Amino acid sequence: MADERFIQVILPLRLEWEPYYILPEGMEVSVGDRVKVEFAYKQYSAVVSAVDAVPPEELVPRILYIVGREESVPPVFPEEIRFWRAVASYYLCTVGEVYKAALLRDKPAKTPGKARQAERKAVTLSALQEEAASAVRKAFGENRTVLLHGVTGAGKTEIYLQLARETMEKGRSVLFLVPEIALSRQLEDRVAAVFPEVLVYHSAQTLARKGRVASAVREQEKYMVLGTRSALFLPHRNLGLVIVDEEHDRSFKQDSPAPRYHARESAIMLALVHGAHVVLGSATPSLESLYNAENGRFVKVNLKQRFHQGEEAPVLIIDTIAERRKNGMVGNLSLKLLEQMDRTLKEGGQAVLLRSRRSYSPAVQCTECGDIPKCPHCNVSMSLHMQPQRLLCHYCGHTEEYSGVCRKCGGTLQPLGAGTQRIEEEVKAVFPRARVARLDSDNSGAEADVIRKFSAGEIDILIGTQVLTKGFDFANLSLVAVIQADNILGQQDFRADEHAIQILEQFRGRSGRRGKPGLFVIQTREPSHPVFARLGEEKDNTADMLQERRLFGYPPYTRLIYLTFKDSSENRADYLSREFSSQLELPHIGPYTPAVDKVADRYLRQIRVMLPRDKALQANKRKLMERVNAFEKEKKYFGHIILDVDPI
């Protein structure tokens, strides 16, 4: 045993330690190499994390030899392991869980040919854009993260591309992150006009395609990647610039599985590992980023004028309760809105209608007994979908045939409310000659075609969910309208107003581009809601909202962590969450029952931990994770407690 050499490895599992293995005589490995190992009677592809390791003496008799070298996938760069460790530490998960997320890109792929790095008629910036770009370069010289706050239509993308060009001219690589797959598809053409060899990466691609992109990133001296949040885990090297567009967007947060990371914070970690610069861009920055700009962590660069000199779209708020009283509604559409849509179509413009819920109807109810069918696995009502007709649970995917007859009393089931499918049906009935399309997750397979046709003017009216509020650039879009805006307001969350303002302002910014006049219509039952009053105000409300957060001890002034207990037994979830709470010495609230307290046959209880942002923050986070690990071992309760740092 004295002559044996030991290594440590990272396994794609939730393990609090990195197991030891014995190297066969004569075999040499380096940190980052892949090896096959056996763990708990299964074989895994592991990453070597330490060589010539010294295991505790009591473990030595039980340490196994590695099975062999892993030939099917390439080694991991040291920078990747450093990034994995940073993500695991911040988001209170294990390095193995982060490695597992990175494994999704590692399907073997043929080594790509040498990519051409030819670039195409440099990006032309306006005087204001060049002024902003100069401010960004100055911040880069000071190694500061930049928050580029530019109004919708100000031309942030052109600034990104110019900075990317300058980075690649210095021989370094660029990662350009966007929140949605649909947005990456529209941006691809704009980026490819400057960087023909742009690599596109997102979760909807096949494993083979992901493998080809990963191989290209690994092999090329410099590259440009356009991707969604998962592109962070590509085998990056020589990164010089990381761009996070629409940094405020909730889609940048991964809810499940671990690591439950936010792309914005993780991008900063990745850039730190590579010595790269970071630009965070948004027309409606998150309060967290504005706070970081106020306290000096970020440098804020403003771009306050639209590229084509156009004015922001005026806002028309329609009180749907008042309109119904005077017969001013046709289904879910007001006559005032229909009049504006008709005018838009006659003038050759396009319209987009936002409804935050997909389906035909969010719920159905019996007209006789009042029963609302719920999912048998989740404590939520089932939504009515057409084509084919069925009831669908949007939490677990459970489906049931829909006959329109109540299973409890035989009465008639009637749709409650309207989703995107029903709005589409009503629009087609009013405008039979218009070319109408829908974009939501029910028809996500067609999103690229729908966006292309709308951009080309082949669709007159587009109906969809919140994906339509993202950073799309539609030249002929002159009317945008929110149907049942109250659903955007009705979130029970301390970020509700912030998110609502972001969604509405972003959506408003889709219209009236290229110097053309636009109009933003909001249909609501609460026309006096303060969120609507803030739309279009010249006053910056940031200070007011931050003051509210400070008053109640919410982020960004504290670090928020949710612990969710999931159990098939409601009593056990309730008892053990209370038991854990009684032992927790950190400031917290709960346990409490969340609004949706059962998902996929698992009952939920939550504890909210709020930690001060002080020097003890990292130590308190470690203390929390250690307490969870100890509790799981003590109660034999593995896999039931979920930690979510910085939940959205």
Each residue of 377-433: pLDDT tens digit? 999 999 999 888 999 999 999 999 999 999 999 999 999 988 999 999 999 999 999
**Inter-axis angle of helices 263-274 and 78-90, nearest 10:** 140
Residue 382 burial (C-beta neighbours within 10 Å; 0-12, 13-18, 19+): buried
Contacts of 303 (CB under 8 A, 6+ apart): 128, 129, 132, 148, 149, 150, 151, 154, 155, 156, 159
Each residue of 478-525: pLDDT tens digit? 999 999 999 888 667 888 889 999 999 999 988 877 667 889 999 999
Each residue of 128-155: pLDDT tens digit? 999 999 999 999 999 999 999 998 888 8
**Percent of the chain residues past pLDDT 70, beyond the cut:** 95
What pLDDT score does 470 carry?
80
What pLDDT score does 198 carry?
96
Each residue of 160-207: pLDDT tens digit? 999 999 999 999 999 999 998 888 888 898 899 999 999 999 988 998
Separation in Å, CA 567 to CA 28, 321, 336, 639:
46, 42, 50, 9
Neighbours of 306 (CB within 10 A): 21
Contacts of 74 (CB under 8 A, 6+ apart): 34, 215, 218, 235
Contacts of 184 (CB under 8 A, 6+ apart): 178, 200, 202, 226, 227, 228
Q: What DSSP string describes 320-381? A: HHHHHHTT-EETTEEHHHHHHHHHHHHTT-EEEEE-S--SSBSEEEETTT----B-SSSSSB
Q: Which two tokens stand for residue 521?
A: 């219509």
Candidate from 182-186, 332-336, 600-604 with smallest mean pLDDT: 182-186
DSSP state, residue 54: -
Each residue of 262-273: pLDDT tens digit? 999 999 999 999
472 pLDDT above the threshold of 50: yes
636: left (phi over 0), alpha (psi -120 to 50) or beta: left
Lookup result for tokens 């300058």: 166
Q: CA-CA distance, 418 to 185, in Å (whole number)?
A: 29
Adjacent-strand bridge partners of 572: none
Confidence grade of residue 116 (pLDDT, cut at 50, 70, 90): very low
Q: CA-CA distance, 576 to 120, in Å (whole number)?
A: 61
Longest CA span, the chain: 91
Cβ(590)–Cβ(597) under 8 Å? Answer: no
Q: CA-CA distance, 580 to 628, in Å (whole number)?
A: 8
What pLDDT score does 96 carry?
97
Each residue of 341-362: pLDDT tens digit? 999 999 999 999 999 888 889 9
Domains in the chain, start-ordered, CATH in brackets?
A: 1-75 (3.40.1440), 127-303 (3.40.50.300), 315-534 (3.40.50.300), 558-645 (3.30.70)
Which of 619, 600, 620, 603 lies closest to 611, judged by CA?
620
Computed over its alpha carbons, how large is the radius of gyration of the chain? Answer: 27
What pLDDT score does 510 carry?
86
Separation in Å, CA 500 to CA 179, 506, 576:
17, 10, 35
Which of 319, 379, 315 lies closest to 520, judged by CA?
315
Cβ(344)–Cβ(477) under 8 Å? Answer: no
* pLDDT averaged over every residue in the chain: 92
Q: CA-CA distance, 295 to 288, in Å (whole number)?
A: 11
What pLDDT score does 131 carry?
96
Cβ(563)–Cβ(629) under 8 Å? Answer: no
Confidence grade of residue 119 (pLDDT, cut at 50, 70, 90): low
What pLDDT score does 45 carry?
95
Q: CA-CA distance, 591 to 577, in Å (whole number)?
A: 6
What pLDDT score does 290 carry?
95
48 pLDDT above the threshold of 60: yes
Q: Which two tokens stand for residue 208?
A: 């083979």
Confidence grade of residue 296 (pLDDT, cut at 50, 70, 90): very high
Q: Which two tokens stand for residue 31?
A: 């940190």
Confidence grade of residue 307 (pLDDT, cut at 50, 70, 90): low
Confidence grade of residue 104 (pLDDT, cut at 50, 70, 90): confident
33 pLDDT above the threshold of 60: yes
**Percent of the chain residues past pLDDT 90, beyond the cut:** 77
2 pLDDT above the threshold of 70: no
532 pLDDT above the threshold of 70: yes
Report, in this order, helix, strand and coil percent for the chain, each rounded to 5: 35, 25, 40
Residues 459-484, mean pLDDT to the nearest whole number: 90
**Inter-axis angle of helices 617-635 and 570-583, nearest 10:** 130
Q: CA-CA distance, 22 to 5, in Å (whole number)?
A: 6
What pLDDT score does 107 carry?
61
453 pLDDT above the threshold of 90: yes
What pLDDT score does 284 carry?
92
1 pLDDT above the threshold of 60: no
Question: Following CA atoms 617, 639, 101, 201 in sequence, which dihedral angle do they give, to the nearest 10 degrees?
Answer: -100
